[in-house]
Structure 1
Amino acid sequence: MIISNLQEFHQLLQSSKPILAVDYGQKKLGLAISDPNYTISMPLKTLNCINDSEKIKIILSFIDEYSACALVIGLPIMMDGAVSNQALLVQNFTNCLSTKTDLPIYMQDERLTSRAANNLLKYLGLKRNKRNQQDDCIAAGMILETVLSSIKFLN
């Protein structure tokens, strides 16, 4: 189920179970996970994927592997607040994913996270090829960190 209110999403979280975050791209999928206490996010993997059904299978397998209790999906809103074509793709993907799991799904504005992830990896000295292999999971971690920071204020 897709939850649009962060407070409602927070109430649906199960104690001692992590949140899985997804940075959706047409060619790549970035994944990150929280700790069970919702204090930190950790990048997991950036995966090259062929199609949305493969992406959904991968996400469902990570939900099982990590016993995740919820999902956060990055929503790429444009800087002026408009909904981009990519945001529409993410919304459609999230709708499809929500039919395959009963977990609560929260869509987090992800403006500039991909750029910030790339800049961080560049600052750390990674070459373009290495940055491209890791930028999406770092972005997923940043998206999740935004949610974790926000829910700290709800406690």
Structure 2
Amino acid sequence: MNVLGFDYGSRLIGVALGNRLTGTARPLGVVTNGGNGPDWERIDRWVREWQPDALLVGLPLTLDGAEQPASRGARAFAAALVKRCGLPLHLVDERRSSIEAARRFAQRRAAGLAKRKQVADIDAVAAEVITETWLADPS
């Protein structure tokens, strides 16, 4: 039972794969996002390849839990995903996910598992954090 998690950004969208049975996630990569929207072809490929039973999109909130301008973009992306894929979708509070993603990326770099030039992959690591957050408490 797989889920795909997304860390929405106006330029890049991080993507991670999560497994409900193991409760673990791993980064898949990033897709570009811009004036013409996200790279739907690549997203569609991941959906076909991994056949998730649900999709997750991180919802950026302020520290006090209020919505912010970036929340609208994430909600619009989530709505487009549902329309395109027809799968259940869950919005996941992503407060502090970027801090945890930066910490994990630094650890992976120190261990020789990531390189500085792969810094764009931090968005995929953020998607991993978002996915793990949901897997820990899918309610």
Q: In which range does the TM-score fall when normalised by the shorter chain?
A: 0.7 to 0.9
CA displacement, residues 33-63 of structure 1 (integer Å, 9 cap, x when unaligned): 1136252111111233344643333322211
Paired positions, count? 135
- Asked if structure 1 preserves the Cα contact closer than 8 Å seen for 2:32 and 2:39, the reply is no
Residues 53-62 or 67-76, more deviating: 53-62
For 2:42 and 2:15, the matched residues in 1 are separated by 10
- Asked if structure 2 preserves the Cα contact closer than 8 Å seen for 1:32 and 1:42, the reply is yes
Aligned match of 1:47: 31
Is 1:28 the equivalent of 2:20? no
For 2:10 and 2:57, the matched residues in 1 are separated by 14
Amino acid in structure 2 at the alignment position of 1:143? I
Two-structure CA RMSD over aligned residues (Å): 2.1
Amino acid in structure 1 at the alignment position of 2:64? D
2:129 to 126, 142, 150: 142
Is 1:73 the equivalent of 2:73? no
Amino acid in structure 1 at the alignment position of 2:127? A
Q: Compute the TM-score of the two structures, normalised by the length of structure 2.
A: 0.84
Amino acid in structure 2 at the alignment position of 1:59? I
Q: Judging changes above 3 Å, is the alpha-carbon distance between structure 1 residues 109 and 43 closer, same or farther for their aligned structure 2 residues?
A: same
Tell me the CA shift for residue 92 of structure 1: 1.4
- Asked if structure 1 preserves the Cα contact closer than 8 Å seen for 2:7 and 2:58, the reply is yes
The runs of at least 4 aligned residues of structure 1 exceeding 6 Å deviation read: none
Q: Compute the TM-score of the two structures, normalised by the length of structure 1.
A: 0.77
Aligned match of 2:43: 59
1:90 to 74, 80, 95: 74
For 1:102 and 1:135, the matched residues in 2 are separated by 28
Query: Equivalent residue of 1:100, what SS?
Result: helix
CA displacement, residues 87-115 of structure 1 (integer Å, 9 cap, x when unaligned): 11111121222211210000000011112
Unaligned runs of at least 5 residues, structure 1? 1-16
